[in-house]
Amino acid sequence: MNGYWASFLVLLTAQCLLPSSGHAFFSPETYVSTFDLPYLVSDFLIVLFLAGTEVWLRFNYKYAHNLVLVSGLVISYLGFYVLFPFVNGAEIILILPVLLALVHFSRAVLYISGLSSIVFLGLTYLSAHSYNPRIDWLGFGIAVIYIVLGVLVGRAILERSQELRSSMESLVKSEQKLIVEKAISDKLLKMDALTGLYNHKTFHEYLENLILHCDTNGVPLHLALLDIDNFKKVNDTYGHWVGDVVLKDVAGCITELLSPNNFAARYGGEEFAVIFTDTSARQAAEEAEQIRKAIEDLPLTHSRAHPVTVSIGLCSYRPGSGKETLFRNTDDALYQAKRSGKNKVVLYEPADQ
| pLDDT at position 24 | 47
Helix, strand, coil percentages (3-state) for the chain, rounded to 5, are 65, 10, 25
Q: For residue 272, what pLDDT band results from cuts at 50, 70 and 90?
A: very high
| pLDDT at position 88 | 67
Q: Is the pLDDT of residue 265 over 90?
A: yes
Across the range 113-134, mean pLDDT stands at 76
Q: Is the pLDDT of residue 288 over 90?
A: yes
Q: For residue 153, what pLDDT band results from cuts at 50, 70 and 90?
A: confident
| pLDDT at position 54 | 76
Q: For residue 99, what pLDDT band results from cuts at 50, 70 and 90?
A: confident
Give the separation between CA 91 and CA 138, rounded to whole angstroms: 12
Least confident of 4-8, 82-86, 120-124, 193-197: 82-86
Phi, psi of 226 (to 5 degrees): -115, 130
Buried/exposed 177-215: b ≥16 CB within 10 Å, e otherwise? eeeeeeeeeeeeebbbeebebbbeebbbeebeebbeebb
Across the range 271-282, mean pLDDT stands at 92
Give the separation between CA 218 and CA 210, rounded to whole angstroms: 10
Taken as a whole, the chain contains a residue count of: 353
Q: Among positive and negative, which fits the CA dihedral 37, 39, 40, 42?
A: positive
Across the range 146-159, mean pLDDT stands at 85
Buried/exposed 77-99: b ≥16 CB within 10 Å, e otherwise? bbbbbbbbbbbeebbebbbbbbb
Pairing of strands 310-316, 263-268: unpaired
CB 39 within 8 A of CB 82: yes
Residues 6+ apart with CB under 8 A from 4: 50, 71, 72, 75
Q: For residue 302, what pLDDT band results from cuts at 50, 70 and 90?
A: low
Tens of pLDDT along 231-241? 988 888 888 88
Residue type, 131: Y
Q: Which fold has domain 200-347?
A: Alpha-Beta Plaits (3.30.70)
Give the separation between CA 81 and CA 68, rounded to whole angstroms: 20
Phi, psi of 195 (to 5 degrees): -95, -20
Q: For residue 32, what pLDDT band results from cuts at 50, 70 and 90?
A: low
**Count of other CB atoms within 10 angstroms of residue 158:** 18
Q: Is the pLDDT of residue 86 over 80?
A: no
Region class of 341: left (phi > 0), else alpha (psi between -120 and 50), else beta: left
- DSSP per residue over 128-175, as a string? HHHH-TT--HHHHHHHHHHHHHHHHHHHHHHHHHHHHHHHHHHHHHHH
Give the global pTM: 0.54
Least confident of 221-230, 232-241, 244-253: 232-241
Q: Is the pLDDT of residue 276 over 50?
A: yes
Helix axes 37-59, 64-83, angle to 10 degrees: 170
Q: Among positive and negative, which fits the CA dihedral 213, 215, 220, 224?
A: positive
Q: What are the extents of the domains in the chain?
A: 2-168, 200-347
Q: Which of 152, 161, 157, 81 is nearest to 121 (CA)?
A: 81
Give the separation between CA 193 and CA 189, rounded to whole angstroms: 9
Pairing of strands 221-228, 310-316: antiparallel
Give the separation between CA 330 and CA 303, rounded to whole angstroms: 33
* Rounded percentage of the chain residues whose pLDDT exceeds 90: 28
Q: Is the pLDDT of residue 304 over 70?
A: no
Chain centroid, CA 163 distance in Å? 22
| Catalytic annotation, residues | 270
Q: Is the pLDDT of residue 314 over 90?
A: yes
| pLDDT at position 294 | 94
